[in-house]
Amino acid sequence: MEFSPLQKARYAYKPKLPGMLRNGIKEICVKEGEATNSVADQEKIKALFPNTYGKKEITFEKGKNNALDKKQVVGVILSGGQAPGGHNVICGLYDALKATNKDNVLYGFKGGPSGLVEDKYQILDDETINLYRNTGGFDIIGSGRTKLETEEQFKVAAEVCKKHGITAIVIIGGDDSNTNAAVLAEYFQAHNTGVSVIGCPKTIDGDLKNEDIECSFGFDTATKTYSELIGNIERDCNSAKKYWHFIKVMGRSASHVALECALETQPNICLISEEVAAKKMSLSQIANTIADSVCKRAENGMNFGVAIIPEGVVEFVPEFSRLIAEINELLAGEKAKEFNGLKSWNDKYAYIERGLSKDSMNVFKILPQTIQQQLFLERDPHGNVQVSLIESEKLFSALVGNILAERKKKGEYKGKYSALHHFFGYEGRCAFPSNFDSDYCYSLGYNAFMLIQYGFNGYLSKISNLSKPAEEWVAGGMPITKMMNIERRHGEDKPVIRKALVELDGAPFKYFAKNRDKWAVETCYTFPGAIQYFGPSEVCDLTTRTLALEKGIK
Ligand code: FBP
């Protein structure tokens, strides 16, 4: 195996732990906090989690560790989309486990949650772990999106744990995976398996956060990577002065990634899906807003610009989600075969016209043909349109182009409009973790082991005070049930961790809203540059603008 100079240098980086975990394993004790309640639907959640509901939040502090002599065999699982820092969660977990007792064992279940129920694993040792310290990716054991949610799966999981003498499972995942971690923890406790389950908050989307979890890991590195690229495009754009760049950024549902990138780079336009939904904006209203910026800039001789589009935006446009619902209905069951049997696009178009309501057809008509066809090509396993595959950056640039053509005819616009398109998503999910994510993830893993050692079950590893230097971070744990409420999923009431969308009355959005009119017309680009791993703290250890604004830091 060959390694790049940066990879070698990153192996030597020593991630920073919260001050309270730095005194050595023997000097970590538990301070109990208040008993907890779920964020909503308390009675229902309590009834569903009779064994794990209402537990106390805890923090760790300096003091005698009285749980040292319990031998632990831990299984770790990476779940869902990659996020920078996942390897360091495993490294922190491993280091704490081995520092406690060198006979402790760490199993890595392969390919995500399915690895546990299929009993596919690798025992992690020094040699393997040392190859992955401070590196991006989830390739140490792989990840997957299988959900652990059925009684049958839990039963098999319990048998696999028993077979290997496993005492705890750590699930590194997003809101869905940690919801399932809570359900598994309840099952294990109810069946007296003696196995505990600890979750770690992961997702570049940034939507697993709440009053306890300040941010999910990976968000920092992914947004810094996208912001570097957007800043580079802005500089190119301001040099060539001839293109409008439409840049879609990942974030399946919430717009935290788009907003953070906008705060970092000050583009001319950034759509925020949550605002689109709150104002019930139509596609043409959105496109007109962008077109206004194009026209005003053209009047000032600037036929160029940058617009950031969040990946999930179309689902937040009410008329578009109605259209999607009607298309799903139009192709439900056997009807899909009939539709797909039609030979030409004209025949299909006539079928669509007959099946859609007048309002939805009006929306459908204004879409470029490539987008119209995308709505009928890609279906998920449930037969639904996969909204994330819609090229919304192309959709909006085309709609803006149509509006500008109309305005030109009326003599309202005299500029030139040439659009380029980009999608930044996978580029950022496996980047070398920033110092922040390296430290945060290592701490989450290390802390997860302390929770295991002290016998907690159904807890999320919690590191807080993150806008401060790592020395001042606070380590502890939070019962996952505290973050849950009941939501309607696939026609059923389900207990789930509440997803955090962008809050329109939150400080990050307010800052953006205060400045965006100026950014839309003037050229105010800022260039964050590449993530710095070595150098002065003020450039290497920067927190996200989102977290800084949320914590009232200017
Ligand atoms: P997680 O919620 O599992 O962290 O994944 C989020 C994400 O990165 C989204 O931003 C994106 O829409 C999606 O994964 C892509 O999924 P896939 O990797 O399956 O293509």
Residue whose CA lies nearest to ligand 1 atom number 11: 252
Residue 336: its pLDDT value, please? 85
For the cut 90, the answer to whether the pLDDT of residue 172 exceeds it is yes
What is the mean pLDDT of the segment spanning 344-372?
95
DSSP-derived pairing of the beta strands 28-35 and 56-62: antiparallel
- Residues 52, 476: Cα–Cα separation, whole Å: 17
Q: Rounded to the nearest whole angstrom, what is the distance from the C-alpha of residue 336 to the centroid of ligand 1? A: 27
pLDDT of residue 382: 63
The reply to whether ligand 1 has any atom less than 6 angstroms from the CB of 85 is no
Pocket test for ligand 1, best of 204, 213, 256 (most atoms within 8 A of CB): 204
Sequence letter at residue 278: A
Split at pLDDT 50, 70, 90, the class of 167 is very high
> What percent of the chain stands above pLDDT 90?
89
From 310, 280, 306, 279, select the one nearest 293 (Cα to Cα): 306
Amino acid identity at 429: R
| Mean pLDDT for the stretch of residues 324-353 | 90
* Pocket of ligand 1 contains residue 251 by CB under 6 Å: yes
Nearest to 21 by CA among 61, 71, 77: 61
Task: Express each pLDDT in 378-424 by its tens digit.
Answer: 666 666 677 778 899 999 999 999 999 999 999 999 999 999 999 99
Residue 332: what pLDDT? Answer: 83
Whether residue 491 is predicted with pLDDT greater than 90 in this model: the reply is: no
Q: State pLDDT tens for residues 120-144.
A: 999 999 999 999 999 999 999 999 9
* Ligand 1 centroid distance, CA of 495 (Å): 22
pLDDT of residue 544: 97
Q: Lowest-pLDDT range, 81-85, 199-203, 490-494?
A: 490-494
Q: Lowest-confidence range among 24-28, 32-36, 214-218?
A: 24-28
Percentage with pLDDT > 70 across the chain: 98
What average pLDDT does range 525-539 have in this prediction? 96
State the closest ligand 1 atom to the C-alpha of 80, by its place in the atom list counted from 1.
3
Range of weakest confidence among 103-107, 232-236, 342-346: 342-346
pLDDT score of 488: 84
Per-residue pLDDT reduced to its tens digit, 263-285: 999 999 999 999 999 999 999 99
311 lines ligand 1 (CB under 6 A): yes
Give yes or no for residue 450 having a pLDDT over 90: yes
Q: Is 65 left (phi over 0), alpha (psi -120 to 50) or beta?
A: beta
pLDDT at 68 over 90: no
pLDDT surpasses 80 at 553: yes
Query: Mean pLDDT, the chain, as a whole number?
Result: 95
388 lines ligand 1 (CB under 6 A): yes
Structural domains of the chain sorted by starting position, each given as residue range(s) with its CATH number in brackets: 17-24+69-218+433-481 (3.40.50.450), 222-425+506-550 (3.40.50.460)
Distance 387 CA to ligand 1 centre (A): 13
Q: How confident is the model at residue 331 (pLDDT cuts 50, 70, 90)?
A: confident
Whether 248 lines ligand 1, by a CB cut-off of 6 Å, is no
Q: Out of 30-39, 67-76, 407-416, 475-484, which region has the weakest mean confidence (pLDDT)?
A: 67-76
Does pTM surpass 0.75? yes
The letter for the amino acid at 131 is: L
Does 10 have pLDDT greater than 90?
A: yes
Max Cα distance, the chain (Å):
81
Identify the pLDDT of residue 292: 98
Asked about 69 being catalytic, the answer comes back as no
Instruction: Kindly give the number of the ligand 1 atom that is closest to the alpha carbon of 251.
Output: 10
Q: Which ligand 1 atom sits closest to the C-alpha of 177?
A: 3
In angstroms, what is the span from residue 240 Cα to ligand 1's centroid? 34
252 C-alpha vs ligand 1 centroid, how far in Å? 7
**36 backbone dihedrals φ, ψ, rounded to 5°:** -115, 160
pLDDT value at residue 333: 79
Annotated catalytic residue within 175, 205, 220, 437 = 205
Q: Whose CA is nearest to atom 4 of ligand 1?
A: 203
CA distances from 454 to 179, 415, 448, 516 (A): 22, 67, 10, 49
Give the Cα separation of 73 and 90 in Å (integer). Answer: 14
> pLDDT grade, residue 186 (50/70/90)?
very high
Give the pLDDT confidence score for residue 66 in this predicted structure: 85
Report which ligand 1 atom has the smallest distance to the Cα of 83.
Answer: 4
pLDDT at 490 over 80: no
Q: What span, in angstroms and rounded, lies between the C-alpha atoms of 234 and 132?
A: 34
Task: Please say if the pLDDT value at position 470 is more than 90.
Answer: yes
What value does the mean pLDDT take over residues 202-219? 96
Name, in order, each residue with C-beta under 8 angstroms of 186's C-beta and a sequence gap of 6 or more.
48, 49, 50, 51, 52, 458
Is residue 475 within 8 Å of 488, Cβ to Cβ? no
Distance CA 21, CA 23 (A): 6
